[in-house]
């Protein structure tokens, strides 16, 4: 799994909205030989609008990123962390998917990335019922890891690194934890048969509606529903940057993070599912 020669880079990103491939903050924690050697935090001008729901989560506003670099300007300073390292993140498919989609939006080549997801690590080691959730704040509380400013990218990246170390120390390595990151190819739409006129998007929306038929987004999810939704998100991460799934993914992530939607948010969520 990890040797003393391995460089571990824990990251976390915050996003301005659920529609665009964009980030507004990135936190980086670099560890070598088991010791933290560098921490960095950058505000990023996403060059896209902010949504109130995102601002309510991380507190970053358009005014905060005025004068901050955009990703093409920042990337030369941080690109080295994504190669020759194991990149660790909590719900890594979201963070890496967002970074890679943002790079593609700007026409920047996406590097080959080796990664480890602490959510997936935790799922392999204990049932959700053990601590009640796989969210970063819940697991940090369970393992006595400080998380003083949740949703600040550097704070979350530091907590993620410490959680990674705790999971290795307490439960041991698993060869499935570290893997190459591969963005799933977008599915090629199949011609409709004689008895169906559903597009690929319509079909996936219908399947998701069926999965959510007994789910109430304004209440805490039960463990089975939360796990089923998380698995669906993992299997369909390639949709997370495409409308309407970009907004849907934002709401689903809130729901599996034990943060019920408000009535207005639930109404918008149902609108996106139509």
Please identify, among 180, 211, 246, the residue that sits at the C-terminal boundary of a domain. Answer: 180
pLDDT band for position 193 (cuts 50, 70, 90): very low
Q: Which among 77, 63, 86, 85 is positioned nearest to 26, based on CA atoms? A: 77
Q: Are residues 80 and 116 in the same domain?
A: yes
Total number of domains in the chain? 2
| Residue 72 within any structural domain of the chain | yes
pLDDT of residue 28: 98
Alpha-carbon distances of 77 from 54, 65, 72, rounded to whole Å? 26, 18, 10
Please identify, among 152, 180, 208, the residue that sits at the C-terminal boundary of a domain. Answer: 180
Whether 103 shows a pLDDT value over 90: the answer reads yes
Task: Give the DSSP letter string of the chain.
Answer: ---TT-EEEEEEEE-S-SSSS--SEEEEEEEETTEEEEEEEEE---SSPPPHHHHHHH---GGGGTT---HHHHHHHHGGGGSSSEEEETTHHHHHHHHHHHHHHTTPPPPP-EEEEHHHHHHHHS-GGGTS--SHHHHHHHTT---TTTT-HHHHHHHHHHHHHHHHHHH---TTSEEE--PPPPPPPPPP-TT----HHHHHHHHHHHHTTT--TTSPPPHHHHHHHHHHHHHTGGGTTSTTHHHHHHHHHHHHTT-PPPHHHHHHHHHHH-
Q: Rounded CA gap, 154 and 158, in Å?
A: 6
| Residue 2 within any structural domain of the chain | no
Here the tokens at position 184 are: 């799933």
Whether 238 shows a pLDDT value over 90: the answer reads no
Residue found under tokens 């990335």: 113
pLDDT band for position 273 (cuts 50, 70, 90): confident
pLDDT of residue 68: 98
Q: Are residues 14 and 133 in the same domain?
A: yes
Q: Are residues 167 and 206 in the same domain?
A: no
Q: Are residues 99 and 226 in the same domain?
A: no
Q: Are residues 264 and 168 in the same domain?
A: no
| Residue 50 within any structural domain of the chain | yes
Residue found under tokens 């319509």: 202
Q: Are residues 107 and 168 in the same domain?
A: yes
pLDDT band for position 187 (cuts 50, 70, 90): very low
| Residue 192 within any structural domain of the chain | no
User: In the chain, pLDDT over 70 holds for what percent of residues?
Assistant: 91
Q: Which of 89-98, 99-108, 154-163 is the least confident region?
A: 89-98
| Residue 204 within any structural domain of the chain | yes
Q: Over the stretch 131-173, which tens digit does the pLDDT of each residue have?
A: 988 889 999 999 999 999 999 999 999 999 999 999 999 999 9
| Residue 195 within any structural domain of the chain | no
Q: Are residues 114 and 33 in the same domain?
A: yes
Whether 191 shows a pLDDT value over 90: the answer reads no
Which whole number is the average pLDDT over 107-112?
96
- Better pLDDT: 184 or 167: 167
Q: Are residues 214 and 120 in the same domain?
A: no
Whether 21 shows a pLDDT value over 60: the answer reads yes
| Residue 194 within any structural domain of the chain | no
Which whole number is the average pLDDT over 196-211?
73
Q: Are residues 169 and 210 in the same domain?
A: no
Please identify, among 117, 146, 180, the residue that sits at the C-terminal boundary of a domain. Answer: 180
**What CATH number has the domain bearing residue 101?**
3.30.420.10
Determine how many CB atoms are found less than 10 A away from the CB of residue 25.
25
pLDDT band for position 194 (cuts 50, 70, 90): very low
Q: Over the stretch 54-70, which tens digit does the pLDDT of each residue have?
A: 898 899 999 999 999 99
Query: Which residues constitute the domain of residue 265?
Result: 200-273
Average pLDDT for the chain: 87
Q: Over the stretch 115-124, which tens digit does the pLDDT of each residue have?
A: 999 999 999 9
Q: Are residues 208 and 262 in the same domain?
A: yes
Q: Are residues 100 and 214 in the same domain?
A: no
| Residue 67 within any structural domain of the chain | yes
Q: Are residues 30 and 133 in the same domain?
A: yes
């Amino acid at each position: 799994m990890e040797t003393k020669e391995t460089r571990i880079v824990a990251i976390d990103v915050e996003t301005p909205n659920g529609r665009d491939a964009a980030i507004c903050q990135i936190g980086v924690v670099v560890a070598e030989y088991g010791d933290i050697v560098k921490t960095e935090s950058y505000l990023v001008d996403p060059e896209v609008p902010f949504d109130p729901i995102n601002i309510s989560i991380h507190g970053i506003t358009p005014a905060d990123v005025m004068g901050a670099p955009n990703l093409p300007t920042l990337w030369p300073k941080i690109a080295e962390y994504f190669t020759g390292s194991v990149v660790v993140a909590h719900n890594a498919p979201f963070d890496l998917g967002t970074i890679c989609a943002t790079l593609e939006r700007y026409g920047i080549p996406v590097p080959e990335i080796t990664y480890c997801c602490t959510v997936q690590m935790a799922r392999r080691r204990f049932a959700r019922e053990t601590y009640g959730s796989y969210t970063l704040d819940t697991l940090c509380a369970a393992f006595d890891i400080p998380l003083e400013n949740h949703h600040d990218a550097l704070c979350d990246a530091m907590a993620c690194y410490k959680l990674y170390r705790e999971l290795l120390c307490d439960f041991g390595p698993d060869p499935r934890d570290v893997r190459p990151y591969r963005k799933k190819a977008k599915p090629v739409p199949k011609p409709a048969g004689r008895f169906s006129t559903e597009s690929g998007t319509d079909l996936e929306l219908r399947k998701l509606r069926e999965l959510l038929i007994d789910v109430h987004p304004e209440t805490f999810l039960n463990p089975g529903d939360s796990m089923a939704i998380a698995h669906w998100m993992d299997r369909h991460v390639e949709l997370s940057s495409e409308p309407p799934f970009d907004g849907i993914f934002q709401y689903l992530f809130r729901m599996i993070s034990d943060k019920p939607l408000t009535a207005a948010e639930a109404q918008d969520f149902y609108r996106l599912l139509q």
